Structure 1
Amino acid sequence: MSLRNGAHSGTVNVAILGAGRIAHHMADTLRRMNRDERYSSLIEPYAVATRNDQDRAEAFAREYGIRKAYGSYEALLADPEVDLVYIATPHALHADHAIACMMAGKNVLVEKSFTANVEQAQRVIDVSRQTHMLCAEAIWTRYMPSRKAITDIIESGRLGEIGHVYANLSYPVSDKPRMTDPEMAGGALLDLGVYPINFVMMAFPGASPVRTVTSCSFTDRGVDEQMAATMWLDNGVMATLDASMIAVGSRQGIIQGSEGYMVVQNINNPERILIYDNEHRLVDTINVPTQLTGYEYQVIDSAKALLDGKIECAAMPHDETLRIMGMMDNMRAAWGEVYPFEHSAE
């Protein structure tokens, strides 16, 4: 990537830190983008790094056509050709990995949940501002076209005065070791509950909770396995949301007004939006644009922001990341859920 007239130009070399499940999804996305004429000149699937397994890194790189494979994170950070690092490690490791990347001159796209708590998030963002490296949270729904479609419907007045919103994301994932590991900031909230929270705050971007009532149930290892919350927003809307890592849920987002309501099918990756009138008649169906995987939007925004010399993405700016992390901290505080490393930091 070259510097021209004070702004970056050229192709962004993207690297993946970690080689777990989410890393495979991103690698598949980068491969598809590289084969798509709309994106092939914007990004290059450049490198992947595992913590300490060169063979695994090389197998991963071969599978997805990635140019470089590194058997350690340190080796990846030493490569001067890496422009943007997608951090695909567990929540509890995000802060240290993001900071290490930025201190090495690498921009970062950090998988959600951005960090384990707001204190870690603030440290990461402080480093972004100090180093002038791009730092963006990879919560893909923030970058999708469906976001604007939802807010356009609300702002059009078709639903009348909005009174209530409901959002769910639940599916059984408690068999994954990190999900029940307190040391890795496991639990339903940071992995699943973060989506209903973001759904609500995206639907009403100017609003803030003035009161929250929340509860959860715990696993035998002390992390939340199911959670629910009711929030009263300062715009008069009441929001109800829930998440579970042991049950299958509807994944729906429902925004209810005085003249009708909309149902967003799958808030984690919206498929279509159904609009009903006040007699429960289906009056409109809005299909979401065809996408490669859905991950491409966050990569596009990050790459363009990087090329423009910005340190954050407009779709998920730093202050909004901090706000959402703070909301989740407050919920965990209400439950009495403290991760082991938070005890040691006191």
Structure 2
Amino acid sequence: MLETPRLVDKELGGGVLLDIGCYCLQFVCMAFSGEKPESVQATGFLTEKGVDEAVTIVLKYSRKRMALVTVTMAVQLANQATISGTKGTITIPGLMWCPTSLVVNGKAQEFPLPAPPQPLNFINSTGLCYEAERVRQCLQKGLKECPDLPLAESELIMSILDEARRQVGVVYDQDAA
């Protein structure tokens, strides 16, 4: 992955945070119902070109709750999400960005995807048809934003990404504008 231009070239918005970190933070924001974290602590490594290669973010929330996000383009991680709380654990195993199963307190549930009409560039990409359908439904209703992911939540995700980039030391030309 360290040779993929969209990941490593600063001019293309390279870096792991903007490439896959946004999906992880969207999941966290969904789990915390769009609540703004009390603090954001990020650390990581930059490539020779100055984009983020690996980043870990700790988000601290009210009522002694936390989220931990780790993203990297250098190695293959488990690509899963886990929510642990006083009432149990929810795990989304493998392909967190487009899952087909969910494990709640040890009980698995499967959510098969429709068969792709043609070869895919990325595994499970047919799962994106649900997002496209939801956008179509919102447009048909004349909505300017989707209630499932309101603009305020998108702005929150971007503010966390921007703060993590700042702490790690990633600066794009556009940041100076």
- TM-score interval, smaller chain: 0.7 to 0.9
Partner of 2:118: none
Q: Which amino acid aligns with 1:319?
A: A
The 2-side partners of 1:206 and 1:323 are apart by: 8
The 2-side partners of 1:295 and 1:333 are apart by: 30
The 1-side partners of 2:8 and 2:34 are apart by: 34
Partner of 1:314: 147
Secondary structure of residue in 2 paired with 1:294: helix
Secondary structure of residue in 1 paired with 2:38: strand
Partner of 2:59: 231
- The 5-angstrom pairing of residues 244-259 of structure 1 reads 244-259=72-87
Contact residue 40 and residue 163 of structure 2 kept, 8 A: no
The 2-side partners of 1:340 and 1:296 are apart by: 34
Structure 1 residue ranges without an equivalent (≥5): 1-172, 277-281
Contact residue 100 and residue 113 of structure 2 kept, 8 A: no
Q: Which amino acid aligns with 2:128?
A: Y
- 1:190 matches 2:9: no
Number of positions where the alignment pairs a residue of Structure 1 with one of Structure 2 = 166
Contact residue 207 and residue 235 of structure 1 kept, 8 A: no
Q: CA deviation at 1:222?
A: 0.3
- 1:271 matches 2:100: yes
Secondary structure of residue in 2 paired with 1:243: strand
- State which structure, 1 or 2, has the greater radius of gyration over its C-alpha atoms: 1
- 1:287 matches 2:120: no
Secondary structure of residue in 2 paired with 1:226: strand
Q: CA deviation at 1:235?
A: 4.1
The 2-side partners of 1:190 and 1:236 are apart by: 28
TM-score by length of 2: 0.87
Q: CA deviation at 1:246?
A: 1.2
Partner of 1:135: none
Q: CA deviation at 1:190?
A: 0.4
- The 5-angstrom pairing of residues 120-199 of structure 1 reads 173-199=1-27
Structure 2 residue ranges without an equivalent (≥5): 116-125
TM-score by length of 1: 0.46
Contact residue 145 and residue 151 of structure 2 kept, 8 A: yes
Q: CA RMSD in A?
A: 1.5
